Structure 1
Amino acid sequence: MRRTLVTAVALALAGLSAVSTAAPAAPAAPTSRPVTTTQLPRNVVPTHYDVAITPDIAKLTLAGKATITLQVLEPTPSITLNALDMAFASATLTPAKGKALTPKIAVDNEAQTATFTFDKPLAPGQYRLALDYTGKIGTQANGLFAIDYDTAAGNKRALFTQFENSDARRMIPSWDEPAHKATFTLQATVPTGLMAVSNMPASSAKDLGNGTTRVDFAPSPKMSTYLLFLSVGDFERATTQADGVEIGVVTQRGAIDQARFALDSSADVLREYNDYFGTPYPLPKLDNVASPGASQFFSAMENWGAIFTFEHTLLLDPSISTQSDKQRVFAVAAHEIAHQWFGDLVTMSWWDDLWLNEGFATWMASRTTQKLHPEWNTQLEAIGSRESAMTLDSVESTHPVVQHVETVEQASQAFDSITYQKGSAVIRMLEGYVGGDAWRTGVRSYMKAHAYGNTVSDDLWREIQSAAGKPVLDIAHDFTLQPGIPMLRVAAGKCTDGKTTLTLTQDEFTRDRPGKTPLRWRVPVIAQAGGEPARTVVEGGQGTLDVPGCGPVVVNAGQSGYYRTLYAPAQFAGLRSNFAKLDAIDQLGVMNDVWALGMAGLQSSSDYLDLVKATPRDADPQIWGDIAGSLQSLDAYYRGDAQRQAKFRAFAIAQLSPVFARVGWDAKPGEADPVKVLRTDLIEALGALGDRDVIGESRRRYAAQDSGALPGELRRSVLGVVARHADAATWDRLHAAAKSEKTPLVKDDLYMLLSSAQDAALAQRALELALTDEPGATNSAGMIRTVAGLHPDLAFDFAVAHREQVDAKVDSTSRSRYYPRLANNSLDPAMVGKLKAYADKYVATGSRRATENAMANITYRVGVRKERLPAIDAWLAKHKG
């Protein structure tokens, strides 16, 4: 798998079980929506929760009291709600009129439910269910969890919650499904001196005189359980104002200045979204709360009014942070704030339509980053985002954007690049089809019509179609209700009367099913040949298009379409000859298509190298950053074949070194931000490719250890090169630095670096270190995954051999996909059998898509090594020097 310019809001990649894609026709538009999936009985619904939580931070337990106002809709002898790892001391049900009832209590941890059974059926009406219970505080990011972290004053512990998708039930007995919206009043009794943060501002705080303080928060708006939030710790908070809303950032004490950029950015984004959505942000405050540590599932979470973000994606530490980090902080904040509308104010009815939250927020963040920071030129990142989706969408184990979800585990696996990146790409394509103004009008109508409610995808499409006056629904259904990627085969006639006539034939791009009968899509197409762009919609598998101009034609001009383009050889030759004249976004789009088509055997794999040679040294920095990633990916296919790899590396270094010479090691006054990003990309790529000059200079700067030789913006890249090529003595030195470091953000970086050595013996040492308590509870899983980058077989075998220990260090939401990811870059065909054996033993039948994705990717990689590299070798031999 190649590295691409993927935006940082690609948070979690996984999948479900295999989906058949053999049917040749697009699915018919649904005439009615099936009843929303539920795992709970439908006869009782909550309307309000009064919750009081008393955490014991030292013992990692919690005591809770919840009084839930509910409506019984039909006679029932029992009430069933979600609860996990809870013990109930008492339960009382009080009707609006009459005596309180005491039910029998049955807890089913397997089903994650608690059932309260009464002597006779309850009549329909309003009741209040009062529960007294205890629960657990975890050490991974599920439910209410603790994070331990080092400071100069010693080790500290803070509490945070992570409830998406289905973990509110670990802290509050609740109807823990997105369609069961209710209001919440939360009270927390916490150690005096610590700060408690929730979705709403604190309405009061009372010192109880026993070392604890009771904090009451204002009632929340109507919302889903997974959006509730609580955090407790030794925090600082900084604030600003935007459109009458108090914007805040909350960090561990002493780190507040590192969140200033996030604070200012959040204010800018909120103003932009208030305008775009046409519905003002409805809460009085919006915090972003930083936590040390990490998760294998997510980087940030959109809790309404209290976004949670791990420090590595919120803070900017001048000793290690880069321009890429700064852009990631902005992009992730923009993504999470978009959720305050798409997800929080309007929520999908069930996890089938998760993409309504994630795809839209991903698109909105990309659009907003480009608008508010045009100097970053991040519009090109949309191509990398699309490629991330297409990588998964081109194998049999893919799934539609709108997917069927039945279980909690399946819901967890729905957070993948189809949901995020394909969802975003489809929105980008449809916005280009209907126009930006019509799209925004439709979104505003959708927001007003469904505020505080739950929706399905068609609710959005109907509003867009009404605003645009174009047949959006059919195109949207083609791209969201069926899986896969259209591929347009392009045949061009002669240019006559100043226009070129194209014949477009729609096929399907797949990496693992040659000869597959293609599905059919209605494909919006924009093409350009130096003049005005021409537009059409290819329907029924065929289309023609007259394009003004007689130059080389770019199909998918501007790259808004979600499809591959396969040019005839003569057309490709014309594009290659005129490659330097194309817009940067089209250069990147053409290169991505040629790479994917070449690796799949649909054109020569060496065609990509022709485009690398045709790229000017002064091309857009992001083009060269993408090339650097692609060359690293090609290099990985040669792993274990030193002689052939050396020949490829000589070519790759010869292409990248002159570009790096233009950029230089040190920043120049006034240089563009994309150049800063390219500098670190090239240091890392050339170091990975074994460039002696870059390795030597990195070691020199590391040895010098002064701010001139090792400025913050280069530190991670330089240390990455040093760690990759470390010997035992260097590894020991890095290890000593990690153990003594007191700043969590820097400490975490150092442990990941220890896991990046290409020496197998050092990689083994990192794996063994990961199973100890030393790195911290949430770093161990990341260390094992980092080892897997260069040693996938070693990491997978180690993790499986120590599965019980590793499971304790992986958030439970991620386990079914964590292990397959370790093996994803293996080149050993035997790994496919190992993955199947693992899944058969440990993964539920309906939750194996991550395993199937990994198996498909390994099979593909083995095929590339065997069938595509010979053409690369032949090209290299022909182009010596």
Structure 2
Amino acid sequence: MKGFYISKAVAVAGIIIAVSAVATIIALSIVYSQEKAKNNAKPTEGWTTPPTATSTTPTPSNEPWDRYRLPDSLLPEHYIVTLWPRLHVDEHGMYIFTGNSTVVFRCVKETDLVLIHSNKLNFTQLDGHLAKLSTTDGSSPPAIKTTWLQVRTQYLVVQLNGNLVPGKSYQLFTEFRGELADDLGGFYRSEYYQGSQLKIVATTQMQPTDARKAFPCFDEPAMKAVFHMTLVHDRGTVALANGMEIETVNFTTNGVELSRTTFEPTEKMSTYLLAFVVSDFAHIRTPEGAKVLIRIWARRSAIAEGQGDYALNKTGPILEFFERYYNSTYPLSKSDQIALPDFSAGAMENWGLITYRETALLYDPHASSNGDKEWVATVISHELAHMWFGNLVTMKWWNDLWLNEGFATYVSYLGAHDAEPEWNVKDLIVLNAVHPVFAVDSLASSHPLSYSEEEINTPAQISELFDTITYSKGAAVLRMLSEFLSEPVFARGLSSYLKEYAYSNTVYGDLWQHLQKVKNTAGLELPDTVNEIMNRWILQMGFPVVTIDTQTGNISQKHFLLDPESVPARPSDYNYEWFVPIKWAKNGIHQDQHWLLNSSALYEPMKSVEWVLANLDVTGYYRVNYDSANWERLLSLLIEGHQVNKCLLIIPVINRAQIVDDTFNLARAKIVDTTLALRTTQYLSQEREYMPWQSAIRNLAYFFLMFERTEVYGPMQSYLKKQVQPLFEYFENITSNWEKIPTRHTDQYNQVNAISLACRTGVEGCAELTNGWYKQWMDNPENNTIHANLKSVVYCNAIAGGGEEEWDFGWRMFSNTTNAAEADKLMYALSCTKEPWLLNRYLEYSLDPNKIRKQDATFAIVYIARNVVGQPLAWDFIRAKWDYIFNEYGGGSISFSRLITGVTERFSTLFELQQLQQFKEEHSQTGFGSAEIALEQAIEKTKANIRWVAENNDKVLKWFLSA
């Protein structure tokens, strides 16, 4: 996640609560996360307790077992693994699994040490040691000297009395037990109710470093091997794994009726792509004789209700699209996709057995919105893209994670577009990925896409990489690359790359080489090699603002920083200069692409023009500024284009969204005046398209965050009420007084915008509309007639305008629903109440897994923080319970960093900055895990917010009063 993700619409608090909520769900889900909780399980009888490092481990800190990276002396060839998850508690009240594993490995360099990853496993003693070593040819191996568990670096250490021989293969056998915990990482349990009966699912999430929690393994992406899996499971349950099941044999042991399912060996693959599930789920499948067996698995009731049908209908076509796109046949015989009640990521691309949150795979036309439907299509597309790019060919180390996830994020829009061409989803990548990641990448505390290998070592450092830079910036720069190479050349380069490196590992430079070869064959002209052009985009953080002076023809670039007084946290070998491809139009006529190679250049064709628009379709990863005269001409065009001809607009819709987003952010960076940005919203009373409105809503959300507690708030509300009322009336008209739903995909989104902002700003009739719908539902709970598209905005506004009765009804509906999409909408809406005591109660509920699933705890807290009433409550809650949250919910969780971001984004006073800095000091011992960067960014953003408010408060107030 991609998640993430990463990559879909990112929520920005405050202004349009319902729209922001849906976007937040998407963004936090695609960021493909893992909620890692500390497993403080007490050993059960017969377990071996890991000896402490001080009593059994040599003390020098530079020993191989004290380093996080495996030595290069051993290479795994294949594993033979048998696991038996218990779906009932044992005599100690615990869920456990037992198993054994044989790993066959080849010695590459002479060594007397076997290091293999193991985390939270308890081993059976074998001849006085934790493992047994043998050879594959029957000869005698060196005797084991000692074995121990190195807890900090997560190793099973096997020291030998002699050396292993290079070129020779050995096998290491272990027997072990682990807890089938509810920590959402490794081999874990998911729970749900079927009627009144509690059901347990044993499932997995290995990425990035949790395969070692299921069995001992060489848990690094370059350590590819073949896996022979066997699962022992309760009679009547179904076992799934990466490979197709070969046979299931029933047997009885100690009076317990069990089944043993064996699976086909996997292809050669990385440990993080392993998956296995035991459940009593039902499934639907493609017909017999289909080229690839596709099965959709979920809770029996969900399958019976047809919630898997959409995924089944779209998986095959999307797979076929990628086969054409990559010019490569899908390498497996089957594709299982399974929806899990508890899953921290949006989805996970396990080869042959893709795991999903229920909301990312299941679609119920009665409860799922068109946004939910798009989410399902794009997530399926993202995961299927990985079957080749990531699974067949895998990054050598996690420092190049961006290549896997950024690529899958980009092409997920291509796959979804092929599956649903009417949606025009390819344009939405600008709103969902490009604009949101600009906000992060314009901070001095941002980071490059690719690190050096040496910088990424620990599991927490690896987890930090699963962020919006990796997913969304990765997607944006690859989209830019595809654009200037052309899509056919880009695709041919990918095909060549995949063919050469199938079943092996690469670094990003390998892809550049293949794209360069294809580019040379195609005869394309570029200003430098693909390697030189792209390294500037991936090895230095940030992006440029390109300034075009239409009076002189001068074009220049400069590193864009949201806070111009900040200093980048990292130096750059390229002095923060980029090779910038500029697509542009002069007087409405498209011009040849121009490359900006240096910090400044003179471009004669830019002179003597009526108006210039650069970065057409926003295919370039940069912002654009103009001289004041050109800005004035563009603002005039926005108004005149709508007045003169509403059908054929002069500025394309995607660039109307860009103009709004660029000006607001240029203003925050003090490059243009804030009033220029506000003036770009004046034409919105005539705008009916989704993308410009969504861009404006997202940017105005910052104004709400900064001014919702000041005297600016009232005049801002009044101005926005005037702007949105025509949009509200437009949708009221085309939907026959809200009886119908608009036909176009993006119109359905913009209808939600219209209702949300109208209710937010007090447009007459809006509150009565939403409250009336909610009241009808309260009067007849068995018959919810609110359209799925409108549920979030209706629920939120009704609960915000109501009291305890409305909140309790929403909570009851949330607690009772078995539909994940409906639960998400209600979980968000409950945060909208204005009653502090209800919000505090909800905060307490958020950390009770019997009320809020662990996968959703972060979401609930962030939602509450986005409510102006709830923000100080959530901040106090986080500070008071930080140690508990950190330990129970896992400092390595990717969504954990979002908790810090979400709770602090309204901070704009010196007092709040001091609180934030004090919070950092007070919890320095506990630490912040994968939220370290998020905390630094929160401090940086708070300082910038303080300055911005001080400089703009009076100016903005005056503008809104006069507008």
Q: Secondary structure at the match of 1:282?
A: coil
- 1:85 alignment partner in structure 2: 120
1:323-350 deviation digits (Å, cap 9, x = unpaired): 1110111011111111111110110000
1:615 aligned counterpart, secondary structure: helix
Q: Is the 8 A contact 2:72 2:109 kept in 1?
A: no
What SS does the corresponding residue of 1:454 show, helix, strand or coil? strand
Moved more, 469-478 or 448-457: 469-478
Paired with 2:559 and 2:923, the residues of 1 have a C-alpha distance of: 30
| Corresponding residue for residue 756 of structure 1 | 832
Per the alignment, residue 504 of structure 1 pairs with 555
Instruction: State TM-score, norm by structure 2.
Output: 0.84
1:198-224 alpha-carbon deviations (Å, 9 max, x no partner)? 111101101113321111111000000
The alignment partner of 2:559 has SS state of strand
Aligned to 1:227: 273
Question: What secondary structure does 1:715 align onto?
Answer: helix
Gapped regions of structure 1 (runs ≥ 5): 16-36, 494-500
Q: Are residues 743 and 381 of structure 1, via their aligned partners in 2, closer, same or farther at CA, if it must alter by over 3 Å? A: closer
CA distance in 2, matches of 1:99, 1:346: 37
Amino acid at match of 1:571: N
* Aligned residue number for residue 453 of structure 1: 504
1:615 is aligned to 684
Over 3 Å counting, the alpha-carbon distance change for 1:14 and 1:589 in structure 2 is farther
Tell me the residue number matched to 2:862.
Answer: 785
User: What residue in structure 1 maps to residue 58 of structure 2?
Assistant: none
Q: CA deviation at 1:442?
A: 0.8
| Displacement of 1:373 | 2.2
1:834-853 to structure 2, matched below 5 A, reads 834-838=918-922, 840-843=924-927, 848-853=932-937
Task: Return the offset for 1:260.
Answer: 1.1
Match for 2:208 among 149, 165, 183? Answer: 165
Q: Deviation of residue 690 (structure 1)?
A: 5.0
**C-alpha separation between the residues in 1 aligned to 2:935 and 2:805?**
37
Report 1:456-495 matches (<5 A). Answer: 456-469=507-520, 470=526, 471-493=529-551
Of 715-724 and 66-75, deviating more is 715-724
d(CA) in 2 for partners of 1:675 and 1:667? 15
- Contact kept? 1:249, 1:259, Cα under 8 Å: yes
Q: Contact 2:77–2:106 at 8 Å: present in 1 too?
A: yes
Give the equivalent residue in structure 1 for 2:627.
568
Match of 1:67 among 92, 102, 105: 102
CA distance in 1, matches of 2:830, 2:25: 26
Q: Which residue of 1 aligns with 2:313?
A: 264
In the alignment, the residues of structure 1 paired with residue 375 and residue 835 of structure 2 have an alpha-carbon distance, to the nearest angstrom, of: 31
Cα deviation 1:795-816 (Å, max 9, x = unaligned)? 1321231234434652553176
Match of 2:155 in 1: 113
Q: Which runs of 5+ in 2 are unaligned?
A: 1-10, 14-19, 35-66, 90-94, 521-525, 569-574, 642-649
Whether the 8 Å contact between 1:777 and 1:809 is mirrored in structure 2 is: no
Residues 265 and 551 of structure 1: is their aligned pair in 2 closer, same or farther, counting only changes over 3 Å? farther
Amino acid corresponding to residue 924 of structure 2 in structure 1: D
> Take 1:804 and 1:399, find their aligned partners in 2: how far apart are those partners?
27
Match of 2:613 in 1: 554
Q: Does 1:681 align with 2:753?
A: yes
Change (3 A) 1:6 1:570: farther
Corresponding position of 2:416: 369
Q: Quick one: structure 1 residues 620 and 746, their matched pair in 2 at CA, closer, same or farther if it must change by over 3 Å?
A: closer
SS in 2 for 1:304: coil
Equivalent positions of 1:395-794 (< 5 A) are: 395-404=443-452, 405-469=456-520, 470=526, 471-493=529-551, 502-514=553-565, 519-529=576-586, 530-545=588-603, 546=605, 550-579=609-638, 580=641, 581-615=650-684, 617-641=686-710, 643-664=711-732, 666=738, 668=740, 671-689=743-761, 691=763, 693-705=765-777, 709-778=785-854, 779-790=856-867, 791-794=870-873
Question: Contact 1:7–1:382 (CA<8 Å) still a contact in 2?
Answer: no
C-alpha distance in 2 between matches for 1:830 and 1:117:
51
Describe the SS at the equivalent of 2:332. coil
Q: Partners in 2 of 1:269 and 1:846 — Cα distance?
A: 34
Alpha-carbon distance between aligned partners in 2 of 1:261 and 1:513, rounded to the nearest angstrom: 48
- Equivalent residue number for residue 435 of structure 2: 387
3-state SS, counterpart of residue 848 of structure 1: helix
> Bigger CA drift: 820-829 or 477-486?
820-829
Report the Cα distance in structure 2 between the residues aligned to 1:725 and 1:316, rounded to whole angstroms.
30
Q: 1:449 to 1:667 in 2, by over 3 A?
A: farther
Distance 1:671 1:265, change over 3 A: same
Tell me the TM-score normalised to structure 1 length.
0.92
Q: 1:14 to 1:208 in 2, by over 3 A?
A: closer
8 Å contact from structure 1 (residues 6, 382) kept in 2: no
Deviation of 1:720 (Å): 1.8
1:801 partnered with 2:841: no
Cα distance, 1:857–1:320 mapped onto 2, change above 3 Å: farther
Q: Which range is displaced more, 70-79 or 617-626? A: 617-626
**Structure 1 equivalent of residue 61 of structure 2:** none
TM-superposition CA deviations, 1:728-753 (whole Å, max 9, x none): 23222222333344445534543443
Range moving further from structure 2, 692-701 or 512-521: 512-521
Q: Summarize deviations over 1:543-568 as a string: whole Å, max 9, x none.
A: 23325994321111221111111111
Whole-Å separation in 2 of the counterparts to 1:222 and 1:377: 37
Distance change (3 Å), C-alpha of 1:863 and 1:728: farther
The answer as to whether partners of 1:410 and 1:847 remain within 8 angstroms in 2 is no
Structure 2 Cα separation of the partners of residues 844 and 766 of structure 1:
24
SS at match of 1:655: helix
Could you tell me how far apart the structure 1 residues matched to 2:216 and 2:178 are? 10
Report SS of the residue matched to 1:813. Answer: coil
Q: Which moved more, 1:326-335 or 1:867-876?
A: 867-876
One-letter amino acid of the counterpart of residue 208, structure 2: N
Deviates more, 1:413-422 or 1:744-753: 744-753
Query: How many residues are aligned here?
Result: 848
The alignment status of 1:281 with 2:349, answered yes or no, reads no
Confirm whether residue 134 of structure 1 aligns to residue 205 of structure 2. Answer: no
Residues 138 and 692 of structure 1: CA distance in aligned 2, closer, same or farther (over 3 Å):
farther
Contact 2:799 / 2:830 at 8 angstroms: preserved in 1?
A: yes
The answer for the alignment partner of 1:23 in structure 2 is none
Residue among 335, 348, 358 paired with 2:395: 348
2:286 paired residue number: 240
What is residue 26 of structure 1 aligned with on the other side?
none
Specify whether residues 850 and 411 from structure 1 end up closer, same or farther in structure 2 by C-alpha distance, changes over 3 A only: same
> Letter of the aligned partner of 1:446 in structure 2?
Y
User: Which residue is 2:40 aligned to?
Assistant: none
TM-fit CA distance, 1:132: 0.8
Structure 1 position 418, deviation (Å): 1.1
Q: 1:813 to 1:515 in 2, by over 3 A?
A: closer
The offset of 1:787, in angstroms, is: 1.4
Post-superposition offset of 1:716: 2.7
RMSD: 2.5
C-alpha change, 1:102 and 1:693, in structure 2 (3 Å) is farther
Amino acid at match of 2:684: T
Q: What is the identity, as a one-letter code, of the residue corresponding to 2:193?
A: D
Q: How far off its partner does 1:516 sit?
A: 5.9
Percent sequence identity is 25
2:893 paired with 1:820? no
1:842 alignment partner, SS class: coil
CA contact (8 A) 1:781 1:806 kept: no
Paired residue type of 2:877: F
